[in-house]
Amino acid sequence: MAEATEFTLRLRRYDPESGDAAYWDEHTIELEPHRSVLEGILQAKARFDGSIGIRCSCRAAICGSCGVRVNGQPGLACHTHLDAALASSRDGVIEVEPMGNMPVIKDLIVDMDAVHWKKIARVTPWLINKEPIPEREYIVDREAMVDVTQSMACIQCGACVSDCLSMEVDPLFVGPAASAKAYRFVGDPRDDQQRERLTDLAQDPHGIYTCTHCFKCIDACPKGVAPMSQIMRLRRRAGSDHHIDDRNNGHRHEASFVTLIKGYGLLHEAELLPRSYGGDSWFGKFHPKAGKVLMSSLPAITKAVMRGKVKPKTALLGHKIPKDDLKSVQRIYDKVAARDQRLELNLYITGYDEDVDGAGTAPAAATSGAAQTGADSGQPGQSPEGSPSR
Ligand code: SF4
Ligand code: SF4
Ligand code: FES
Q: Indicate if the pLDDT at residue 352 is higher than 80.
A: no
The rounded Å distance from CA 325 to ligand 2 centre is 39
Range of lowest pLDDT (122-131, 222-231, 243-252, 267-276): 267-276
| Cα–Cα distance measured from residue 307 to residue 287, given in angstroms and rounded to the nearest whole number | 29
Q: Is the CB of 226 under 6 A from ligand 1?
A: no
**5-110 matches 113-247+342-350 in fold:** no
pLDDT band at 381 (very low <50, low <70, confident <90, very high): very low
Q: Is 159 in the pocket of ligand 2 (CB under 6 A)?
A: yes
Rg from Cα positions in the chain = 24
Q: What is the pTM of this model?
A: 0.85
Q: Name the residue with higher pLDDT: 336 or 384.
A: 336
Q: Quick: pLDDT tens for 130-168.
A: 989 899 988 888 888 888 999 999 999 999 999 999 999
Q: What is the mean pLDDT of the chain?
A: 88
Atom of ligand 3 nearest to the CA of 67: 4
Residue 36 CB–ligand 3 contact under 6 Å: no
Range 26-45 average pLDDT = 98
State whether CATH 1.10.1060.10 applies to domain 113-247+342-350: yes
Distance in Å, CA 231 to ligand 1 centroid: 9
Q: Which residue ranges make up each domain of the chain?
A: 5-110, 113-247+342-350, 250-337
Contact 225/384 with Cβ under 8 angstroms? no
Q: Is 215 in the pocket of ligand 1 (CB under 6 A)?
A: yes
Instruction: State the distance from the centre of ligand 1 to the C-alpha of 200, rounded, in angstroms.
Output: 19
54 lines ligand 3 (CB under 6 A): no
Angle at which helix 194-203 crosses helix 176-186, to 10 degrees, equals 150
- Residues 81-140 have pLDDT tens digits of 999 999 999 999 999 999 999 999 999 999 999 999 999 999 999 999 998 989 998 888
CATH number of 5-110: 3.10.20.30
